[in-house]
Amino acid sequence: MTEQESSFSRTALLAQPEAPILAAARLTACARSRYAETLLAETGNDQVVVVGAGLDATALRLPTGRHRVWVVDRPGVLQWRARLFAQADLADTATSVAADLADGLRVGDLENAGVDLTRPVTVLWLGVSMYLAPDECRRFFGDVSALADGSALVFDYHLSRELRDDAGRDYACAVAAMAGASGEPWQCAASPDSVARWLTEHGWRVEADIDEADATDDGFFDRQQYLSPMRLVRLVHAVR
């Protein structure tokens, strides 16, 4: 999320909290974080690398002292993140690693920042794949395949157009227009079969690939006034 996008979202969310697209955007951000943090608690890996971190605050929510967290993003985004954390008086305990995924992610850069490559890592790659070209997504799976056995990858992706339902198509249409206008167009969408192929060609095994709605508690949507399930976002857990 860019600085401009973030301030737009804040203004829009506060002005119209019940607007369906904005409510769905909040669910998407919360559902992916919760999915990732549930898996983090289950895997037991103490090294966590958040790629395309933006303002991700996982490090602040994890049990104190049990994990070490690295955040990877473009240099300008990392500076913006540092500024906002300082303004909010939050101590950012994560270690920053600057990278542009369009050039690939070098695990050597992670090692230089203190990641122990001989031990498993959990990589969170949330809200990012859609901003990359399909080839860049495939290359990312290859880049992180250099991590130790026992590593885990948690990410989300968008279903290709023909696999979306009406709600997913409407949401994608509205949000993609906003993302494109702010210079960060959505580029990658795929079928579960393609994503499974991209992962397995780099030695990853898919443990789960589910609709975002399936990551919510039973009865969640029955209790919601402004939200309904949509088929667009998939959440994936892969291991090696």
Ligand X SMILES: C[S@@+](CC[C@H](N)C(=O)[O-])C[C@H]1O[C@@H](n2cnc3c(N)ncnc32)[C@H](O)[C@@H]1O
Q: Give the binding site for ligand X (CB under 6 A).
A: 1, 29, 32, 52-54, 56, 73-74, 77, 99-102, 126-128, 131
Say which amino acid occupies 187. Q
Q: Which is nearer to ligand X, 10 or 205 (CB)?
A: 10
Q: Which is nearer to ligand X, 113 or 119 (CB)?
A: 113
Q: Which is nearer to ligand X, 73 or 212 (CB)?
A: 73
Tokens of residue 104, six digits: 């690939």
CB of 83 to ligand X, least distance (A): 14
Q: Which is nearer to ligand X, 86 or 205 (CB)?
A: 86
HSE-up of residue 10 (Cα within 13 Å, Cβ side): 6
Measured CA to CA, the distance from residue 21 to residue 232 in angstroms comes to 13
Q: Where are the beta strands (DSSP E) in the chain?
A: 47-51, 68-73, 95-98, 122-125, 152-158, 205-211, 233-239
CB of 222 to ligand X, least distance (A): 26
CB of 26 to ligand X, least distance (A): 11
CB of 56 to ligand X, least distance (A): 5
Q: Which is nearer to ligand X, 99 or 235 (CB)?
A: 99
CB of 101 to ligand X, least distance (A): 4
In contact, 191 and 205? CB cutoff 8 Å = no
Return the number of other C-beta atoms located less than 10 Å from residue 95's C-beta: 16
Virtual torsion, Cα 173, 178, 184, 189, nearest 10 deg: -10
